[in-house]
Structure 1
Amino acid sequence: MLLYNASIITPHRLIRNGYVHLTGGKIMTIGEGTLDYLSVQESIDAKGAYLLPGLIDLHTDAIDAEISPRRSADFPIDVAFRELERRMSGCGITTVYHSLHLGYTAAENNAQSKYSRREIFERVYALTRQRTLINNKIHLRFELSGIDAFETACDLLQKGYVDLLSVMDHTPGQGQVSVDSFIRMAVRQGMSEAEAWLDLAEKQATPTLSPDQLNTLLDLARIRSVAVASHDDDTAEKVDEMYAAGIRICEFPVSMEAARRGKERGMYVIGGSSNVLRGGSLSGNLGVETAIRAGVIDSLCSDYYPPSLLHAVFRLAGNGLALPEAVRLATLHPARAVGIDSLTGSIETGKQADLILVDLSEGTPLVTHTFVNGHLVAQATLQPQPELAWQA
């Protein structure tokens, strides 16, 4: 296949009127101007649209929301997986790390799903081994208070189900939720202030994994070459602790101090694209666009809204960030963080042909073509506005 007349975003520059020749699922040639390949069976005129690497989403909670979009409303896991794949391909995501939590009882109680966490892991993993539209991987989000789930987490890692591990601690009073914000939220939900303080004390007294258990989990990840991320680090000291444990990804730092320390340590620092698109944090924490401009966040993930990944890239570019730099946040940098950058994440010869064509409709990006391993897996076309009778 030949894609031509495209505005190609390479890692460091924009090629106007460029072409890319694909064969065998790989990028074979990248050039500027016109080129005729007599042997090419198919060609696509990009008509000046942007040609980007496929987006790589290291953290999205979308699979659980697709399985149980409402409390106790469960749909077949196979249906949820396939429909989510289709929607993600339309968003320009060609590699996704489905974020599945374990040991996080608050999330489990909120969903009240008929499926056990083990069932969801087993079935999603089985589906990733079948024919798929996009590259599907599993991100195990392990809650440190989930002592009862420790053996399951170890088993999943040993079986090779996990491609990325993050360790979380949602205990209020640190991380994402400060004491003040916890008390305010509890009162808004109907508790008295005294009840809120008692609830806080109970949650803070919940035991967490022992240091030996955490080291066991991290060692299993290292043996399997699984990248490990910390989650919601709020202080430089917390980042130092995670780094000392061998963790090299700092995911969702909640303060500029934590993000800056992660960058100083040479960690990959990941922020939410939903935060960028909305213009700030839902919890009043670190603004990701501000942190990107400060040079302390180098990667994006969608978190809870997959379409935000592409829109955040173009919002950042529209606000003055160089387009290749904005694109790297959602492609090459996440690929490097998890060690797949030799395969995908940028438009370079020899890499997988994971590509998207993006048109701008009055400034809003629209994915018109998505290629995964050189196969066209999604296509969309803007229709001309029909002429209305009163306009005639």
Structure 2
Amino acid sequence: MTNTVLTNATIVLPDEVVHGTVTLKNGQIEDVSETLSSVPSAFDCEKQYLIPGLVELHTDNLEKHFVPRPKVTWPGQPAVIAHDSQLIASGITTVFDAIALGDVNENSQRLENLQLMIDALKQASTDGLFRAEHMLHLRCEVCHEDVLNLFEDLIETPEVHLVSLMDHSPGQRQFTNMDKYRTYYQGKYHFNSDELERFIEKQKGNSLQYSDKHRRGIVDICNKLNIPMASHDDATQAHVEESARMGMRIAEFPTTEVAASLSHEKGMAVMMGAPNVVRGGSHSGNIAAHELARIGVLDILSSDYCPASILHAAFVLKNLENDHDISSAINTVSRNPAKAAKLNDRGEISIGKRADLVLVKEVNDFPLVSHVWSQGVRCF
């Protein structure tokens, strides 16, 4: 295979930024040099930032393409291809598609579309239609009565590389503030007041009946299969202590400074939503991601519900008052998530790593994706 030479680039390495050339061969990075190339076919990066392909551990974006409007289900193949295109345009070359097992709403389309989404992802991958590499992240709603059965049916699917344990019951974790809980779910499901109160009581009952049993069962299986796990919305010291005992590698969206700091101290990578950074705070009234960055306990950013937010947030992060420069900010969306998910072949620009690269032009502190290479092949 002919070498691809990217020169005159501002290369963002894990610990520094250099001006020079990156050479790609056979899908990997063959060389990184602080000199400019004179090869006639070299691609002139025009001093733009050259960064590793972004690694996205938690995105709900796929669901939006399958259900573009309530009660509307879109055909599988065009849905997953549109999703993939949006990711690549955002600089994401590795994605963990977050598939929800169980839901707090028994009428949700999530369960109806579960197998449809998985089958469409598999088929598109088999047919070579994706530009990003897609893996599965099973989001397990532990208070759902059937989540353990759903999990056992899917856990040995080869594409599964991450599991998170969620409990969206009222009065805890993401929704310790019941006013926020009522506002969120009444707006989402259009409950009247009586329907909302019945919904709340049912969720509390389900949590008491199922959550602990299902959490333990899922954790036991993941530990046997050596699949990385993430906690979700830990809020208290007790939550974090439990997550650490169970072997969680990632602390997804801790809701308080106490939980985030302790998670970081115990070796769990603290992941926060990129929209939280871009917007300047949490839509649920929880801890702001920039506050965790300020005290040095923010490790990973995830686009969550908005793919374009992940690169935007990294550039916001480097301009805030914290210890993040451009290298460490980009690490939060590349090297750190790759390491947390046990993907040691990517996430940074260094010799021997996968040639997943993104060329970025900064305009008024906003990053515009110019080009993307996936395993050495330009795909955007």
Alignment TM-score, normalising by the size of structure 2? 0.91
Which one-letter code corresponds to 1:125 in the other structure? Answer: K
Q: Tell me the equivalent position of 1:12.
A: 15
Match runs of 1:118-157 below 5 Å: 118-131=115-128, 132-157=130-155
Match runs of 1:101-180 below 5 Å: 101-106=100-105, 109-110=107-108, 112=109, 115-131=112-128, 132-178=130-176, 179-180=178-179
Which of 354, 358, 361 does residue 356 from structure 1 map onto?
358
Question: How far 1:117 sits from its partner (Å)?
Answer: 1.8
SS at match of 1:371: strand
Q: What is the distance in 2 between the residues matched to 1:11 and 1:190?
A: 48
Q: Tell me the equivalent position of 1:275.
A: 276
Match runs of 1:1-392 below 5 Å: 1-16=4-19, 18-37=20-39, 42-106=41-105, 109-110=107-108, 112=109, 115-131=112-128, 132-178=130-176, 179-183=178-182, 191-192=192-193, 197=197, 199-207=199-207, 208-209=209-210, 211=212, 213-320=214-321, 321-340=324-343, 342-378=344-380
Residues 167/187 of structure 1: CA separation in 2 closer, same or farther (3 Å cut): closer
Asked whether the 8 Å contact 1:331–1:346 carries over to 2, the reply is: yes
Q: What is the distance in 1 between the residues matched to 2:101 and 2:268?
A: 24
Q: What is the distance in 1 between the residues matched to 2:363 and 2:220?
A: 48
Question: How far 1:212 sits from its partner (Å)?
Answer: 5.4
Residues 146/9 of structure 1: CA separation in 2 closer, same or farther (3 Å cut): same
SS at match of 1:366: strand
| Residue ranges of structure 2 left out of the alignment (5+ in a row) | none
Asked whether the 8 Å contact 1:357–1:368 carries over to 2, the reply is: yes
| Residue ranges of structure 1 left out of the alignment (5+ in a row) | 379-392
Asked whether the 8 Å contact 1:249–1:267 carries over to 2, the reply is: yes
Q: What is the distance in 2 between the residues matched to 1:165 and 1:275?
A: 22
Q: What is the distance in 2 between the residues matched to 1:304 and 1:266?
A: 26
Q: What is the distance in 2 between the residues matched to 1:114 and 1:196?
A: 21
Q: What is the distance in 2 between the residues matched to 1:72 and 1:161?
A: 28
Question: How far 1:35 sits from its partner (Å)?
Answer: 2.8
Q: Tell me the equivalent position of 1:381.
A: none
Q: What is the distance in 2 between the residues matched to 1:122 and 1:337?
A: 26
Cα RMSD after superposing both structures = 2.1
- Residues 234-277 of structure 1, C-alpha deviation per residue, up to 9 Å, x if partnerless? 11110111111122211000111110110111111100001001
Q: What is the distance in 1 between the residues matched to 2:366 and 2:179?
A: 38
Asked whether the 8 Å contact 1:10–1:346 carries over to 2, the reply is: yes
Which one-letter code corresponds to 1:70 in the other structure? Answer: R
- Residues 86-132 of structure 1, C-alpha deviation per residue, up to 9 Å, x if partnerless? 111111001011111011142x735x479442232233234334412
The percent identity for this pair of structures is: 32
Q: Tell me the equivalent position of 1:388.
A: none
SS at match of 1:159: coil
Residues 75/191 of structure 1: CA separation in 2 closer, same or farther (3 Å cut): closer
SS at match of 1:349: coil
Q: What is the distance in 2 between the residues matched to 1:27 and 1:227?
A: 27
Asked whether the 8 Å contact 2:144–2:206 carries over to 1, the reply is: no
Which one-letter code corresponds to 2:318 in the other structure? Answer: A
Question: How far 1:2 sits from its partner (Å)?
Answer: 0.4
Asked whether the 8 Å contact 1:128–1:137 carries over to 2, the reply is: no
- Residues 296-337 of structure 1, C-alpha deviation per residue, up to 9 Å, x if partnerless? 221110000000000001111223531101111111000111
- Residues 342-374 of structure 1, C-alpha deviation per residue, up to 9 Å, x if partnerless? 210000100000000001223321111100100
Asked whether the 8 Å contact 1:165–1:229 carries over to 2, the reply is: yes
